[in-house]
Structure formats: C-alpha cells, structure tokens
Chains A and B, each alone.
Chain A
Amino acid sequence: MRLFRPFIPSLAMLLMASSAAGAQAVLIDKSEIRFISRQMGVNVEGRFRKWKANVDFRPKDLGKSRAEFEIDLSSIDLASEESETELRRPRWFDTAKFPVATFQSTAMKDLGGDRYEVMGKLTLKGTVRDETIPVEVKKDAAGNSVATGEFTIKRLAFNIGDGQWSDPSVVADDVIVRVRMVLPRAG
C-alpha cells in the first residue's frame, strides 16, 4: 500500500491545469459518471454527484491530449441513504481515509470512426491500476463533443467491499463504469 500512495491533485493544481492552453471546460451539468453493480443478480445503478474533470482532447494531436478526473467518493448516489452511508465505511470506499478516486490518462489511441482508447491510471482506495477505456466521441445538435465510455473494474482488486462483502454472489466483483463527458464546441 505504501508504495502506491494515492495521487490526489490539489484544487490549485486542477485550476492551474484547467487554465492551461487547450483545456476544455467539461459541461458538468450535461456530463455524468455512473456505475452499475450487480447485487443478488440485480443490476443496481448509481452515480457520483460531485467530481471534477480536466480534459484536453485534441483528435489530431492525441499525444498532447489528456483526461484527468477526480471523483468525490462520498458524493455517491445509490439506492438509499443507508446504502450510501454503508459505501463510505472502511470496508467499502473508506472515504475518511480515501476521499477521492482519480483517473490520469497516460495515452490515447485513435481506433478510427470516432472511436478512441484512453489508457490511464485509476487510483482508488490506495490502489493504482492501469485501465483502458474505450471511448466514442460524437457531436450533439449544439456542436458539443460528447464522449461516452464504458469499462469494467474489479472491485475486489481495489479492496472495495472486503471481509463479509467479498462474496461475489451477493455483490458481483465486476462493476461497470459509464462515463459521459460533454465538451463545448471549440471557439
């Protein structure tokens, strides 16, 4: 665990980063970070109410493109207040110790046909893992770029829901994460 100290960008860093040339302010109200976990065979959807994003997406210069996210884990929106409280506890997110999850892109790949792959490091509960997110970028009617991506993480690899909760027949190991980011049209 000590080897993998979570990287938590400070607000100042994020502000600096977002004021950097080329960075696009994500339209937070139109964007969302949702997830689906399977409980007793039932897909239960949740989302995070508070998160920050710093996205600099240049389709013609992917080398300079990047995407960074910081998710306030205690802002979880789940089935009930009881389950949200439960998720903040040490056996799940342990938000007192690990208040945020971060994703830092390391590379992006053009797959053709508006499809991309975003590689990056996901830091969650003190564990850092490489994740690859397939992303599709489309224009909406207003000319904004809408990037949608879906990937699956293994909650147990991040010690999310350990001890009595580790039985995947009650809460599945796979958690589907769905990201939708709307970037304003350039200029």
Chain B
Amino acid sequence: MMQSRYTGTARALHWLAALLIFSGFGLGLFMTGLEIAPDTLRYYAWHKWMGITVFLLAAARLAWRAAHPPPPLPATMPSWQIQASRVTHAVLYALMLAIPISGWVYSSATGVSVVYLGLVPLPDLIPKDREVAKTLLLVHKSLNYLLAAVVTVHIAAALKHQFVDRDGVLDRMLPGR
C-alpha cells in the first residue's frame, strides 16, 4: 500500500533538524555579537555541537529516505511546482551537510578544533591560518543566509499548500498519527 504520509522516523528527524537549525542559526547570530566571556565560549561550543548534530541528522535522513521514499505529491500539483519542490529539497539537504562542514573547516582555520559534545575530537581539516579563516567565516555566513532564504521559501510553500491549496501536503510531515 502506498504511504500517504512520511514515516514517523522521517517526521521525527525533520522536526528535530528544524529545531536545531533554528536554534543553531539564532545562537550563531547572537554569539557573534558578544564580547569574549566564559558564556561566549560556551555558546560557540554549543553552536558547533548543534551544527555537527544537524549534519548527522541530515545524513541519517538521506539514508532513511533512500530506503523509505517520500509519500507522493497530490496529482493536482502543477509540474513546475513539483520541479521547484525537488530543487528546494535538494538544496536544503546540500546546505544541511555543507554548512556544518564549512563551520568545521572554519574552526580548524582558527585553531580552535571541534570536540563534539566535549567528548569526540574531530580532526582539523586544514591548518590554522587567519586569512583563510576570514574567508571561511564569510563562506559559512553566506551559506547560512542562503539557507535562511531557502527555508523561508520551504515554509511559505508548506503554508500555501495548507491554507491556499488545501491539498494535504503539509499533513504528510505534521506530527501525530
């Protein structure tokens, strides 16, 4: 029988990633405006841990998705919307993987390695270099603003499906039975 909704696992992974992306993004904006203080160091560490978790969740989602294809889209959807949704989702997955990596490379360039959850030291991807770090920070920020733009489109589309088209697309991903 064809599933009409995403599996419980897929939905859980989606909302967990969403929560971490929003909090990690907000924390990133907040912490970069702070003076150096013990709390600032804590926030940077948490921000890095959130990012690595998003990467792991995205990888888990792709693996799950390969074995559990998403439920079909409504037949009423025009093909340009189907294409647009494919592109948007591909970009979202790409950014969920690329942004944490860009932060990890940036961390390596600053000489402050990532120790995931304070327990698992991640190897430095490149040697410490202040000039390279500046460029990588710009890359990390730019990718994040791109993500913010694509997430906005993603949410706007979901809300349009729910309240304008009323075609049940959002229901596929909402929590609950």
Contacts and interface: CB of A to CB of B under 8 A. Distances in A.
A82 to B, nearest CB: 6
Contacts of B114: 42
B111 A40 contact: no
B149 interface: no
Interface residues on A, range: 10 to 19
Interface string B21-62: 000000000000000111001101100000000000000000
Contacts of A167: 38
Contacts of A164: 37-38
B112 A44 contact: yes
Interface string B117-159: 0110100000010100100000000000000000000000000
Contacts of B111: 44-46, 78-79
A110 interface: no
B102 interface: no
Contacts of A40: 41-42, 44-45, 115, 118
A153 B130 CA distance: 27
A79 B114 CA distance: 13
Contacts of B113: 42-44
A19 interface: no
A13 to B, nearest CB: 35
Contact of B41 (A39, A45, A46, A78): A39
Contact of B36 (A44, A46, A82): A82
A6 B170 CA distance: 70
A46 B16 CA distance: 37
A82 B35 CA distance: 9
A82 B110 CA distance: 12
Given A164-B38, A170-B38, A42 B110 contact: no
A43 B124 CA distance: 12
B1 to A, nearest CB: 49
A165 interface: yes
A42 B42 CA distance: 11
B35 to A, nearest CB: 8
A39 B119 CA distance: 13
A41 interface: yes
Contacts of B36: 82-83, 86
B128 to A, nearest CB: 8
Contacts of A39: 41, 112
Nearest to A170: B38
A129 B74 CA distance: 76
A82 B118 CA distance: 23
A42 B46 CA distance: 12
Nearest to A163: B38
Interface of A: 39-46, 78-80, 82-83, 86, 164-165, 167, 170-171
5 contacts: A39-B41, A39-B112, A41-B119, A43-B113, A80-B133
